[in-house]
Amino acid sequence: MADSANTPAIKSEIKFLSGPQNRWQEFSFSIKVLFEFIKGFRALHFVGPCVTVFGSARFKAGHPFYEQAASLSGKIAGLGFTIMTGGGPAIMEAANKGAKEVGGRSVGCNIVLPMEQTPNPYLDKWVNIKYFFVRKTLLIKYSYAFVVMPGGFGTLDEYFEALTLIQTRKISEFPIVIFGKEFHADLIEHIEKMKVAGTISETDEKLFLVTDSIDEAVAFIQKNSVIKFNLQHEKPIRRFKWLFEKY
């Protein structure tokens, strides 16, 4: 495996986050970030209303969480959503696979890592992004709902990013499903602890659903996304040939 700090993208990010650089280096990094956003916008502009599925890169095919992610994503795709993931293996692969198996659309926003994470084989379209914070923004930008499957630090980071944006009204009140009551029991207990301590509002727990039921999760998304935001009447986005825009 390559040294985790050995790729140019990683080196530039480490340097940027290590404190003030000279003005040219700050400007140069900002331009690189801008181009990463533009690349993401061009790749994902026409993918349609998405539901993003977050989850571990470590639960392989055959694991109950993998199979649940595939089944749930297939039913969500049946509502007319494009399934979006981080584009990698395990839970991400399962979600994209579930969409493809029912004839739904499947996209990924893959992170470029030293261990060379490659896009999974169930993607209709994907984009490779160098920086985690750019990727996280893209995963949220195109979604009308979020599903949090069992995962690790990255999954929790993505979950709380989406939840914080909804709580602070930086994005609309899109539904969030936390799937797996037993796995997430300690997390929910801590959220309850924060509510009791007054660090979050009592109404904040209404921003998400915790469930083990695929049907309940799908109904929650349908009610709080499809119906609430009237997605069945969303106008198609116009393509401009002079910008070489494609699906």
Identify the pLDDT of residue 235. Answer: 66
Asked if residue 141 is part of any domain, the answer here is: yes
Asked if residue 42 is part of any domain, the answer here is: yes
The residue among 134 and 245 whose pLDDT is bigger is 134
Asked if residue 2 is part of any domain, the answer here is: no
Q: Mean pLDDT, the chain, as a whole number?
A: 91
How many independent structural domains does the chain possess?
1
DSSP secondary structure string for all residues of the chain: ---TT-SHHHHHHHHHTTS---HHHHHHHHHHHHHHHHHHHHHHTTS-SEEEEE--SS--TTSHHHHHHHHHHHHHHTTTPEEEE-S-STHHHHHHHHHHHTT--EEEEEEP-TT-----TT-SEEEEES-HHHHHHHHHHTEEEEEE-S--HHHHHHHHHHHHHHHTTSS----EEEE-TTTTHHHHHHHHHHHHHTSS-GGGGGGEEEES-HHHHHHHHIIIIIITTTGGGPPPPPP-GGGT---
Identify the pLDDT of residue 2. Answer: 43
pLDDT tens profile 169-219:
999 999 999 999 999 999 999 999 999 999 999 999 999 999 999 999 999
pLDDT tens profile 14-57:
888 888 889 999 999 999 999 999 999 999 999 989 999 999 99
CATH code, domain carrying 130: 3.40.50.450
Asked if residue 199 is part of any domain, the answer here is: yes
Asked if residue 39 is part of any domain, the answer here is: yes
The range of the structural domain enclosing residue 150 comes to 8-231
Asked if residue 225 is part of any domain, the answer here is: yes
Asked if residue 237 is part of any domain, the answer here is: no
pLDDT tens profile 53-78:
999 999 999 999 999 999 999 999 99
Asked if residue 184 is part of any domain, the answer here is: yes
Identify the pLDDT of residue 1. Answer: 37
Percent of the chain, pLDDT > 90?
Answer: 80
> Is it the case that residue 118 has pLDDT exceeding 70?
yes
Identify the pLDDT of residue 211. Answer: 98
